[in-house]
Chain A
């Protein structure tokens, strides 16, 4: 545990100045938008069932995506943290591809696979799940673009767990499953939860991939876009402010819960 130390010198003063610029760049637009909103219009927006419905849809579609990602992504993260195999770097690189491709392109790629012209889309269709203009489509789009955040975070968490902790638990009688659930998961838990929060946040903010697969039902980012395109800035802003506020409250709460008790 290293103690933090800090002295005031020219370098740190320069860094403070530069840091301040980028920090203001992040928060000024947010504050400006919130402050510039008329509270009355904001309140009326709260009663706008279309806005509330879309925000709700956004939150829970992202939650479903995160849940699916949790069950499929955590095992993969563990494997990547523990096993070395030829081509591992390539696999890790491919997992991060959704972060770097334009999300509209990602949406088109998903449409090819989950549309009804491909056998995967057909298979899902035969059990009653369609991905075009449906909540399932929103979930798939969110899952695709946000899963790398969970896998990467959980992987780093598992890497920090000393393999020998698992080894000792095995000698004491734990099966691989017991060792995983009693040692590895509890010790990597913070990283796993942080990855889930990041994934959920990324899902909520997704626009490009979702709009290709499912313009309707309308998630909040698409609703904001549509109102901006159709009616202009003043009409789009309250919905945008509301989405930002909901996100801020949710994430500040979650972050506080996850990092509670952690020493700086």
Chain B
């Protein structure tokens, strides 16, 4: 278990204040917050790489606040991987092992195990600069896991990847964690990522932990305007992917069945961008597979655009321009139709 108590970290001209977190053994814990919230610094403080002003960090019952990083058993993987450029993949992975008094046999065994785990056995003789971004990330993970850390820290592991590979890596991280059960703290600015991976989520903003809870709890009951705005940037639904036969796959959430295009099954999340939803006063005839009627329950004016909350249920947040809003004569309480393509829904 990791316990962070009343941690204060000075960070340029602002400060991480009164950070209190508890991460259970084997948990996948996500810290989510906007860019510049001090997420990386918080990770570095936990690893002993950034000086803390006050407070305590406990790892498995041991107070480590003032302990040297090499004595903590906490590994970190940075967003851009930070492999040792002068060492081969193999020497990168075994760097930590060679510092320990281990037999060559033990080192080789660990190398085999970890490179097999991440599927990088064929890369061992390469130099980091010849690897793709995804390969570099696996090497960085292998290097971090080689020392069998008490805690694994991941700094925005998915942000540097292109959108296509992101989902795959997200799955791999999830599977890796399920297999190893290593206590993991992962920071990200992406709320969807947080919901998909986190056992628990802490929302960090303005130098403070705004809220801690399960993904669903944070999404359903944001305790502040900050968290709500952060969580509601997109429509995110909790539900189930069901195969209806004949190539029809639907995502069922709160009694509404959304046509989706995905190979995933079972309990999942789905999201759609507010700007991908068309609003019309009458049902639209189009190739889009999803069209539903609902009541506008809230209008949020953002100037040239407006955000409408349309309740089916569930609630969909939709974006319209001011001009469309006025031409259609929309207002709270009116019935409208929302239309979007199956491919606009992201299932994760």
Q: Does A245 contact B (CB under 8 A)?
A: no
Distance in angstroms between the alpha carbons of A168 and B141 in the assembled complex: 12
Contact of A169 among B44, B95, B100 (CB under 8 A): B95
Q: Does B99 contact A (CB under 8 A)?
A: yes
* Contact call B69/A167, Cβ cutoff below 8 A: yes
* Contact call B47/A164, Cβ cutoff below 8 A: no
**Shortest beta-carbon distance, B303 to chain A, in Å?**
41
- Which residue of chain A has the shortest Cβ distance to B147 in the bound complex? A172
* Contact call A173/B100, Cβ cutoff below 8 A: yes
Q: For residue A164, which residues in chain B have a CB less than 8 angstroms away from its CB?
A: 78, 82
* Contact call A170/B86, Cβ cutoff below 8 A: no
Give the residues from 29 to 79 in chain B that come closer than 8 angstroms, CB to CB, to chain A. Answer: 44, 47-49, 68-70, 72, 74-76, 78
Interface extent on A, as a size class?
10 to 19
Interface of A, secondary structure class, is: helix
Q: Does B96 contact A (CB under 8 A)?
A: yes
Given contacts A167-B44, A167-B49, A178-B99, contact A173 B70 (CB under 8 A): yes
Q: Does A174 contact B (CB under 8 A)?
A: yes
Give the residues from 286 to 322 in chain B that come closer than 8 angstroms, CB to CB, to chain A. Answer: none
Q: Does B85 contact A (CB under 8 A)?
A: yes
Q: Does B348 contact A (CB under 8 A)?
A: no
* Contact call B75/A170, Cβ cutoff below 8 A: no
Q: Does B143 contact A (CB under 8 A)?
A: yes
**Shortest beta-carbon distance, B57 to chain A, in Å?**
14
Distance in angstroms between the alpha carbons of A24 and B108 in the assembled complex: 59
* Proximity bits, B200-243, A CB within 8 Å = 1, else 0: 00000000000000000000000000000000000000000000
Distance in angstroms between the alpha carbons of A170 and B67 in the assembled complex: 12
* Contact call A169/B75, Cβ cutoff below 8 A: no
**Shortest beta-carbon distance, A174 to chain B, in Å?**
6
Contact of A183 among B48, B75, B84 (CB under 8 A): B84
**Shortest beta-carbon distance, A92 to chain B, in Å?**
23
Q: Could you say which of B68, B72, B86 has the most chain A C-beta atoms within 10 Å of its C-beta?
A: B86
* Proximity bits, A163-184, B CB within 8 Å = 1, else 0: 0110111111111001000110
**Shortest beta-carbon distance, A252 to chain B, in Å?**
26
* Proximity bits, B79-97, A CB within 8 Å = 1, else 0: 0001011100000000110
Q: For residue B72, which residues in chain A have a CB less than 8 angstroms away from its CB?
A: 171
Distance in angstroms between the alpha carbons of A174 and B84 in the assembled complex: 13
- Which residue of chain B has the shortest Cβ distance to A186 in the bound complex? B86
Q: Does A229 contact B (CB under 8 A)?
A: no
Contact of B70 among A162, A175, A186 (CB under 8 A): A175
- Which residue of chain B has the shortest Cβ distance to A175 in the bound complex? B70
* Contact call B100/A171, Cβ cutoff below 8 A: no
Distance in angstroms between the alpha carbons of A172 and B76 in the assembled complex: 9
Distance in angstroms between the alpha carbons of A182 and B96 in the assembled complex: 11
Q: Does A247 contact B (CB under 8 A)?
A: no
* Proximity bits, A105-149, B CB within 8 Å = 1, else 0: 000000000000000000000000000000000000000000000
Q: Does A187 contact B (CB under 8 A)?
A: yes
* Contact call B75/A172, Cβ cutoff below 8 A: yes
* Contact call A170/B85, Cβ cutoff below 8 A: no
* Contact call A171/B49, Cβ cutoff below 8 A: yes
Distance in angstroms between the alpha carbons of A162 and B79 in the assembled complex: 14
* Contact call A168/B86, Cβ cutoff below 8 A: no
**Shortest beta-carbon distance, B184 to chain A, in Å?**
14
Q: For residue B44, which residues in chain A have a CB less than 8 angstroms away from its CB?
A: 167
**Shortest beta-carbon distance, A121 to chain B, in Å?**
42
Given contacts A167-B44, A170-B69, contact A162 B75 (CB under 8 A): no
* Contact call A168/B70, Cβ cutoff below 8 A: no
Give the residues from 96 to 128 in chain B that come closer than 8 angstroms, CB to CB, to chain A. Answer: 96, 99-100
Distance in angstroms between the alpha carbons of A16 and B143 in the assembled complex: 50
Given contacts A165-B84, A187-B85, A187-B86, contact A174 B70 (CB under 8 A): yes
Contact of A170 among B49, B78, B100, B143 (CB under 8 A): B49
Given contacts A164-B78, A165-B84, A168-B82, contact A173 B99 (CB under 8 A): yes
Distance in angstroms between the alpha carbons of A45 and B84 in the assembled complex: 51
* Contact call A171/B47, Cβ cutoff below 8 A: yes
Give the residues from 117 to 164 in chain B that come closer than 8 angstroms, CB to CB, to chain A. Answer: 143-144, 146-147
Q: For residue B48, which residues in chain A have a CB less than 8 angstroms away from its CB?
A: 170-171
Q: Could you say which of A168, A169, A182, A186 has the most chain B C-beta atoms within 10 Å of its C-beta?
A: A168
- Which residue of chain A has the shortest Cβ distance to B140 in the bound complex? A168
Distance in angstroms between the alpha carbons of A164 and B143 in the assembled complex: 14
Distance in angstroms between the alpha carbons of A167 and B146 in the assembled complex: 16
* Contact call B68/A170, Cβ cutoff below 8 A: yes
* Contact call A167/B76, Cβ cutoff below 8 A: yes
* Contact call B99/A174, Cβ cutoff below 8 A: yes
Q: For residue A165, which residues in chain B have a CB less than 8 angstroms away from its CB?
A: 82, 84-85
Given contacts A167-B44, A167-B76, contact A172 B49 (CB under 8 A): no
Q: For residue A183, which residues in chain B have a CB less than 8 angstroms away from its CB?
A: 84
The 8 sampled A-B contact pairs (Cβ below 8 Å) are A168-B143, A170-B68, A172-B144, A172-B147, A173-B70, A173-B96, A173-B147, A187-B85
By Cβ-Cβ distance, the 10 closest A-B pairs, closest first, are A172-B96, A170-B69, A173-B99, A167-B49, A164-B82, A173-B70, A173-B96, A186-B86, A171-B69, A170-B70
Interfacial residues, chain A to chain B (CB-CB below 8 A): 162, 164-165, 167-175, 178, 182-183, 186-187
- Supply 15 further A-B pairs (C-beta < 8 A) apart from A171-B49, A171-B76, A172-B70: A164-B82, A165-B84, A165-B85, A167-B69, A170-B49, A170-B68, A170-B69, A171-B74, A171-B144, A172-B75, A172-B96, A172-B99, A174-B95, A182-B95, A186-B86
